[in-house]
Amino acid sequence: MWSELRERVAQYNSRTSKMSDVEKSHGWTVRDIPDQSGRIVVVTGANSGLGYEAALALAAAGAHVVAAARNEEKADEIESLLIKSLKTGRRQRALSWQLRTACDLSRLWQGQGRGDEALTLLQSIYDQFTEGLNTADLIHAGALLEGLRANSMDRVASAARGH
């Protein structure tokens, strides 16, 4: 999945580097998007049209793009691709790849009310890191884990109160 996205971003960059003078005369182009590294962007309708183009442009600028699905079928497709990506990362013993994919899958599951599964998956991968804990990916994963734990504790406290 990541290689497919990288290929699409490369194609997008190639296409935008050949902009005509007419396109450039409108003032602002995707080349004017500042560096988006370290930012998470949610794009709805990213499977086609303007949403797709926006997702590609933001990914090319370094953003971590989350494509919000409008229907269950698309969410299932995204989940399937993420699970495939996770398996590929495991097979290649690419721990950072696994972490990034686990973060994406955890956010998807969290949105589906599957926070405990998300917490278990992400924690199991995060715990394998012994150094580099101050890198952007691990800081992001740590923050996501904190949110998942807080949601889990809220559910436990609510259940204990009988709500």
What is the residue whose two structure tokens read 């003078």? Answer: 21
Label residue 93 left, alpha or beta by phi (over 0 means left) and psi (-120 to 50 means alpha): left
pLDDT digits (tens, 9 = 90+) for 45-82: 766 677 777 877 787 777 777 776 666 777 788 888 89
Structure tokens at 95: 């721990």
Q: d(Cα 61, Cα 13) in Å, to the nearest integer?
A: 10
- Rounded CA gap, 83 and 35, in Å? 29
pLDDT in tens, 94-106: 999 999 999 989 9
For 5-156, strand residue ranges (E) read: 40-44, 64-68
| 3-class state of residue 41 by DSSP | strand
Residue 42 forms beta bridges with which residues? 66
* Strand partners for 53: none
pLDDT tier at 142, thresholds 50, 70, 90: very high
Q: Both tokens of residue 97?
A: 């790849």
More confident residue, 121 or 14: 121
Q: How many angstroms separate the CA atoms of 134 and 36, rounded?
A: 19
* pLDDT reported for residue 6: 56
